[in-house]
Structure 1
Amino acid sequence: MTQQESTNRRPIETLTAGEHVSDSQGVHEIVHVLGMQDGGAREITLTLRPLGAGKPWLMRHPEGTPVWAATPEEVREYADQGRRLAVAEQLYKLADDIVKQRLPLPNYTLFFSAGVVESRGDLDRWAAYVGGEVRGGTPGDPIPAVTVDRPVAGRLSLNMHAQCQPEPIVVEPSVGAELAAKVQAEVDALRPKVRKLVKQAENADPVVNEALCADPWHEQPTEPTEPCPACNDQPPSKA
């Protein structure tokens, strides 16, 4: 996906550092934006860094010129491809140097890690390629990973490792229902105390005590016959 498939054309002066543009050569990150007045026309210069192989270069156009802004899919595709090419280039160089420089190779293990891939599907692709089994992804071992020791020659081997993020923890509906029932029981237990406090607030003399009265008079096990000595709250009237 490049210029032909992208429909995101924007005036060059609206682009900022950190965004990406695309052309027939690929996708490029905007490193720096510079605006300069040249006679009657203002020109915008973008310093671009290719995603993948290539050196930084300059794009210069008059203000208002439409430029192809790369889509997120294009950015991800070219960033992945750039990493592949960079790794392949180093592996080719290593292989070439081993042969040309006759580098000594005693018994050893060559380690290669693909790091943390984006999805379980990507991890399964690595597992299929190296002939390994994905382990983990359980409550006791939440991180799915594949590790393989592949024989190369004699006692020489290649150790390859890749992993992905653990799957989100799913709370069973029964656990949620149990928690909701526990909270509801605690709320129900508080209701009588709340009603008592509301009644106390309604009957309290605001001149004597603007706050809720804390006198033990209100906590008597039987109905009081005298007014509260603190807030003058009256005992319940008898029908």
Structure 2
Amino acid sequence: MIQTTELFGLPFVNATPSTWYTHIKTVLHDNEKAFLVTANPELVLRSLRDSEYNAILKKATFITPDGIGVTAASKRLGNPLQATLPGIETARELLRTADNLHKRVFLLGGRPEVMKSLIKQLSIRFPNIQFVGTFHGFGKDQEAADAIRSAHADLILVALGAPKQEQWIASVYDLVDRGIFIGVGGAFDVWSGHSKRAPKLFRKLKLEWLYRISTHPRGFEKLKDLVLFASLVLRKKSHI
């Protein structure tokens, strides 16, 4: 069993990266079913504002702290999480394991030009993975579930961005009997070469969030959400 800690009403995975990656790779190895959510401050705020979205998140098998903001908040609130577990790293570890085990991977989301480059790049990096399908039809739940089921997918990567990717996974999750589902946000753009991840220095200094904000078209909105999240943490701290 992986340890969890409740924060903002959500059960976050509380583990070292090594423990977490070992656990989720075992889930893939054993052909178990799972719904993974990688939660940053923006996603946490949305869950607090939107009760339906909050209910979707609580159906997830695992919620990981994606971003230094969540782990910093946990320490400030006296309920510390052991580590930040970036979603893009979890997805990469799953792809490495899928490659080692010759697993079947299904991709959803991304513009056509991104998907073409993405499959080419991933096939080079992970030659033993069987890429068994792609899908773009948000809202076509049964059709998507049938495609995933007929492809016998072991790992389903969904790049629709929050909240759409979590809503989509929740809509099809009960319609299939296998597979690890994980929302990967903008990872397809990074892996395909259409956008860049933060430089190593930013990642080392735990400032990847700053790079993303400064380069994102909705950067100002994201900055406002971070300020709101910080004020929420400070208010909660003052009531402890």
* TM-score between both structures, scaled by the size of structure 1: 0.21
Higher relative contact order, chain-length normalized (CA < 8 Å, sep 6+): 2
Q: Which has the larger radius of gyration?
A: 1
> As a proportion of its length, which structure holds more helix?
2
> As a proportion of its length, which structure holds more strand?
1
* TM-score between both structures, scaled by the size of structure 2: 0.20
